[in-house]
Amino acid sequence: MQINQNEPSYSLSVAAEKAGARLDSFIAGETPLSRSATQGLLEEGRILVNGKSVTKSCKLKAGDCIEVFLPEAKECEAEPEDIPLDIVYEDDDVIVINKPQRMVVHPAPGHSSGTLVNALMFHCKDSLSDINGVIRPGIVHRIDRDTSGLLIVAKNNEAHLGLAAQLEDHSLSRVYKTILCGRLGGEGTVDAPIGRHKTDRKKMAITTEGRRAVTHYKQLEELEGGFCLAEMRLETGRTHQIRVHMAHIGHPVLGDPVYGRPTQFEKKHPALFAGQCLHAGELTFIHPRTKEKVTVSAPLPANFERILELLRYKD
C-alpha cells in the first residue's frame, strides 16, 4: 500500500539488549500499541524495518531502525451513552474511574453498548486520546468485566503516551484486594509467563510461549472457611494476570468461575457474587503534564464488604 509519509509515526531504534526480539513484541513494549494492533499495521504495510516491509515474526538486530505509520483517526463507531460514572479523579489530561463489576471496558462482539467507553464518550465528549483506535478511545489499560476498581483514561495523546510509558517501566502502580481460596501464609512473588490457553481461546494460561508476568502478593488477614484476604501488586499487566497466577499456586480467587471452582460459600450466598472478589483499590501514577505523583483509591464494593463480614472470625 502507499504510505503517506506525513502520517503520525513512531521512529524506534533497537538497542543491543533488545536484539533477537520479535518485531510485534518489541513494538508493543516500546509504544502504546498492543501486539494485535501492531500485527494489523504490519499486514497493512504500515511498519518498516530499515525501510522495508517485514513479517511480525521478524527477529530484530541491534541498530535496526523501525518506522510505524499510523492511519488517520476514524470517527468512533461507538455511541455516547449517559451512563453514570464513579469519577475518582479528573483534570484536562486524565480521568480515573472506579469501574463496577459487570461493566465491559470497551465495545466488543456481544457488547456494543453499555461499556465504559460509551459512558466516557458522553462525559468527555471529544476529549479522549485516539492512539488505541476508534473502539478504545482513551483506554490505556483494562480490567476484567467482572473485576471492580480503578482504571485511568487519557484525554489526549500526550497523556496517553506518558501513561503508557509508565505502564512499561512500572512507575504506574496498581494495588488490588482479593479474597483467595486457601491461605497464603505470608508474602511472595509469582513470576510466570502468561499467554493464550492452547485449547480454550477464552482463557489464559501459564505457558513458556507467553509474555513475562509478575505479581507480588501479601496475605492481610485469615478468614473463616479456609479463605484469606490478600493484597496484590502488579509489576506487569497481562490479561487475567492475578486470576491466572493465584490459580497457578493453588489459591484461586473466590467467585472466579473460569480459573476456580464454586465453593460452598458461593453456593450458599449466590446473590453476593456479581463476579470474582477482586478489586483494584489503589492506583499511583506520575501526572503526564505536572510530573507530580498522584495516588487515588476506591473503597471495596458493598458486596465485597458483606462477604468479608460473613467470613471474618466472630468474637
Give pLDDT tens digits for 228-277: 999 999 999 898 999 999 999 999 999 999 999 999 999 999 999 989 99
Q: What is the pLDDT of residues 284-297, one digit of tens each?
A: 999 999 999 999 99
**Three-state secondary structure along 150-202?**
EEEEECCHHHHHHHHHHHHHCCCEEEEEEEEECCCCCEEEEECCEEECCCCCC
- The dihedral built from the CA positions of residue 135, 119, 160 and 101, taken in this order, carries a sign that is negative
Angle, vertex CA 47, rays to CA 75 and CA 22, nearest 5? 120
Q: Record the cell numbers describing residue 175, joined without a space.
A: 494495588
Confidence band of 102 (pLDDT split at 50, 70, 90): very high
Dihedral of CA 198/255/83/32: which sign? negative
CATH number of 9-69: 3.10.290.10
What positions carry a catalytic annotation?
A: 144
Give the burial class of 258: count Cβ atoms within 10 A of its Cβ; 0-12 exposed, 13-18 middle, 19 or more buried. middle
Query: How confident is residue 8, by pLDDT bands cut at 50, 70 and 90?
Result: very low
**Of the candidates 292, 294, 295, which has an alpha carbon nearest to the alpha carbon of residue 281?**
295
CATH match for 83-315 among 3.30.2350.10, 3.20.20.70, 3.90.45.10, 3.40.50.1000:
3.30.2350.10
Domain ranges, ordered by start, for the chain: 9-69, 83-315
Q: What is the pTM of this model?
A: 0.76
Helix 35-43 and helix 23-30: axis angle, to 10°?
120
